[in-house]
C-alpha cells in the first residue's frame, strides 16, 4: 500500500480518538457539574481516602480527572504511584505495562498522575483505531468498512472505557498490532506485540494461538512446509513468556498468589463455560427486571449471538478471527463473581468492559450497519447507539455502572 494509506489511517484513528476524548470529557464533566449541588462528594468520590490517590485540589482537576476515578481505574492509578505492594494485594493482579506507562508519563508531564494516564489512553486508543483501519483496508480490502469500523468502535455504548485509566485501549492496540504484523509476515514484530499484550493483560497468551494460525495459513499458501513453519514460528513461544515474567515479578515482590488474591480480595473464581452460562442465566432471572439494563449481562448475550452469527458469513468466518473472538469470549465468560464471604457465584465479572476488545465482532457489526439500505434507518441506529453511550458514560460518572 502507498504511504498515503497510513496517513489516512492515522487521520481517522487519532482524529477519532481525540474527538472521543474531548467530547466525552465535556459531557462527563457537564454531568458532574449538573448533579454536584445535590451531593457532598467530590467528583472523585473520596478516592484519596479509599484508594490512597493524591487529592485533586482544584475544581477544574476534579471535573477533568475526578470523573474517571472509578472502580479498577483507581487500582491502576495506585499501582502507577506506589507500585505493587504486598500490603495492598488487590491491584497486584493487573499487568505491569499500563501502570508503568502511567508512571513514566507522570514523571514526564506536569500535573497529577491522571494527566499521564489520559495521554497514554488517548495515544493507545488512537493507535488501536489506526491499526483497525489498516486491517480493514489491507486484509478485508474495504476502505469503507474501515471507516465504519472506526465509527462503531468509538460510538459503542461502553466505549468510554477506552478513555478511562484502564488497560483495554493498550491491549486492543497490541492485539491488533500482533495480528496485523502477522498478516504482513513480520513475525518478530507480531511476537513483540503479543509479548507486550501479555504484560498488559495475561489473556494475551491467547495471541500465540492466533498468530500461529495466521502463520500456518500463510505458510501453507506459499507451500513452505514444516521446516518453514518452524523457522518462522519458533519465536511464538515468547508470547506466553510474558505471563511467566509477570508471575516471576510478582514472586520477587513477595506478593500473594493470583489465586489467593482472586479468592480473598477480588472475590472471583473461574468456572467452565457451560456452568458460567447457567450462573449468568440464573442471575438474569434473579435480578429481573434490573437485569434488563445490566451492562455485563446484555453484552454477554449480544456477544454470544454475534459470535455465532460471524460463522455464517465467509467474509468474517476467518479462522484466526474466529479463534481470537471465541477464545477471549469463553475466557471472559468463565470469570465469575463470588458473593463476598461466600462461595455463591453470581455472574461473569466485568464482561461488558472486557468484550470491548472483541474487534472482529465490531467489524461485523460495522459491515452490517453500512449495508442497511435505508439512510434513515442507518442514521437512527447511529443516534440510538450514541445516546446509549451518553447514558452509559453518565452512569459511570454517577458510580452506577460496574468496573
3-state secondary structure the chain: CCHHHHHHHHHHHHHHHHHHHHHHHHHHHHHHHHHHHHCCCCCCCCHHHHHCCCCCCCHHHHHHHHHHCCCHHHHHHHHHHHCCCCCCCHHHHCCCHHHHHHHHHHHHCCCCHHHHHHHHHHHHHHHHHHHHHHHHHHCCCCHHHHHHHHHHHHHCCCHHHHHCCCCHHHHHHHHHHHHHHHHCCCHHHHHHHHHHHHHHCHHHHHHHHHHHHHHHHHHHHCCCHHHHHHHHHHHHHHHHHHHHHHHHHHHHCCCCCHHHHHHHHHCEEECCHHHHHHHHHHHHHHCCCHHHHCHHHHHHHHHHHHHHHCCCCCCCCCHHHHHHHHHHHHHHHHEEEECCCCCCEEEECCHHHHHHHCHHHHHHHHHHHHCCCCHHHHHHHHHHHHHHHHHHHHHHHCCCCCC
Phi and psi at residue 348, to the nearest 5°: -65, 130
- CA separation (Å) from 1 to 7, 134, 140? 11, 10, 13
Phi and psi at residue 219, to the nearest 5°: -70, -40
Q: Please give the pLDDT value at position 326.
A: 98
The three cell numbers of residue 11 are 487521520
Given a contact cutoff of 8 angstroms between Cβ atoms, the answer to whether 194 and 207 are in contact is: yes
Q: Give CA–CA dist 192/188, Å, rounded.
A: 6
Q: Please give the pLDDT value at position 81.
A: 96
Q: Which residue matches cell numbers 500463510?
A: 218
Q: Give CA–CA dist 315/5, Å, rounded.
A: 22
Q: Give CA–CA dist 329/127, Å, rounded.
A: 23
The three cell numbers of residue 200 are 498488559
Tell how far CA 182 is from the center of its chain.
21
Q: What is the sign, positive or negative, of the torsion defined by CA atoms of 172, 174, 176, 178?
A: negative
Nearest to 91 by CA among 118, 53, 119: 53
Q: Give CA–CA dist 30/347, Å, rounded.
A: 33
Q: Please give the pLDDT value at position 222.
A: 55
Chunked into runs of 10 residues, the chain (403 residues) has average pLDDT values of 75 98 97 91 89 92 96 96 94 97 96 96 98 96 95 97 97 98 94 97 97 87 66 86 95 94 90 94 92 92 97 94 98 92 87 97 97 94 96 93 73
Q: Give CA–CA dist 314/289, Å, rounded.
A: 38
Q: Give CA–CA dist 165/336, Å, rounded.
A: 23
Pairing of strands 345-348, 335-338: antiparallel
Q: Which bin fits 265, alpha (ψ -120 to 50), beta or left (φ > 0)?
A: alpha
Given a contact cutoff of 8 angstroms between Cβ atoms, the answer to whether 170 and 17 are in contact is: no
Q: Give CA–CA dist 380/378, Å, rounded.
A: 5
Q: Give CA–CA dist 193/205, Å, rounded.
A: 11
Nearest to 67 by CA among 23, 33, 103: 33
Amino acid at each position: 500500500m502507498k504511504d498515503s494509506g497510513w496517513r489516512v489511517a492515522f487521520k481517522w484513528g487519532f482524529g477519532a480518538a481525540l474527538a472521543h476524548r474531548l467530547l466525552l470529557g465535556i459531557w462527563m464533566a457537564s454531568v458532574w457539574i449538573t448533579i454536584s449541588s445535590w451531593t457532598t462528594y467530590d467528583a472523585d468520590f473520596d478516592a484519596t481516602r479509599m484508594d490512597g490517590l493524591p487529592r485533586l485540589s482544584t475544581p477544574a482537576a476534579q471535573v477533568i480527572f475526578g470523573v474517571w476515578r472509578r472502580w479498577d481505574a483507581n487500582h491502576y492509578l495506585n499501582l502507577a504511584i506506589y507500585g505493587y505492594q504486598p500490603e495492598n494485594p488487590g491491584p497486584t493482579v493487573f499487568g505491569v505495562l499500563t501502570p508503568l506507562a502511567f508512571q513514566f508519563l507522570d514523571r514526564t508531564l506536569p500535573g497529577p498522575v491522571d494527566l499521564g494516564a489520559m495521554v497514554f489512553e488517548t495515544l493507545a486508543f488512537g493507535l488501536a483505531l489506526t491499526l483497525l483501519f489498516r486491517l480493514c483496508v489491507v486484509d478485508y480490502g474495504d476502505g469503507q468498512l474501515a471507516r465504519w469500523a472506526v465509527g462503531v468502535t468509538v460510538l459503542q455504548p461502553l466505549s468510554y472505557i477506552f478513555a478511562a485509566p484502564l488497560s483495554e485501549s493498550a491491549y486492543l492496540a497490541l492485539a491488533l498490532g500482533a495480528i496485523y504484523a502477522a498478516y504482513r509476515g513480520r513475525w518478530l514484530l507480531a511476537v513483540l506485540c503479543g509479548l507486550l499484550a501479555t504484560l498488559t493483560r495475561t489473556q494475551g497468551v491467547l495471541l500465540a494461538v492466533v498468530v500461529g494460525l495466521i502463520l500456518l495459513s500463510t505458510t501453507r499458501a506459499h507451500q513452505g512446509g514444516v521446516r518453514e513453519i518452524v523457522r518462522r514460528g519458533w519465536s511464538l513461544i515468547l508470547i506466553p513468556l510474558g505471563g511467566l515474567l509477570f508471575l516471576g515479578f510478582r514472586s520477587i515482590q513477595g506478593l500473594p498468589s493470583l489465586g489467593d488474591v482472586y479468592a480473598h480480595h477480588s472475590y472471583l473464581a473461574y468456572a467452565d463455560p457451560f456452568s458460567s452460562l447457567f450462573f449468568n442465566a440464573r442471575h438474569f432471572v434473579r435480578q429481573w427486571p434490573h437485569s434488563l439494563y445490566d451492562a455485563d449481562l446484555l453484552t454477554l448475550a449480544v456477544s454470544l449471538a454475534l459470535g455465532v452469527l460471524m460463522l455464517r458469513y465467509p467474509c468474517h468466518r476467518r479462522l484466526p478471527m474466529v479463534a481470537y473472538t471465541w477464545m477471549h469470549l469463553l475466557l471472559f465468560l468463565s470469570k465469575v463473581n463470588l458473593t463476598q464471604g461466600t462461595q455463591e457465584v453470581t455472574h461473569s465479572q466485568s464482561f461488558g468492559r472486557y468484550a470491548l476488545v472483541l474487534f472482529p465482532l465490531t467489524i461485523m457489526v460495522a459491515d452490517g450497519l453500512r449495508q442497511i439500505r435505508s439512510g434513515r434507518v442507518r442514521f437512527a441506529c447511529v443516534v440510538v447507539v450514541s445516546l446509549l453511550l451518553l447514558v452509559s458514560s453518565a452512569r459511570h460518572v454517577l458510580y452506577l455502572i460496574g468496573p
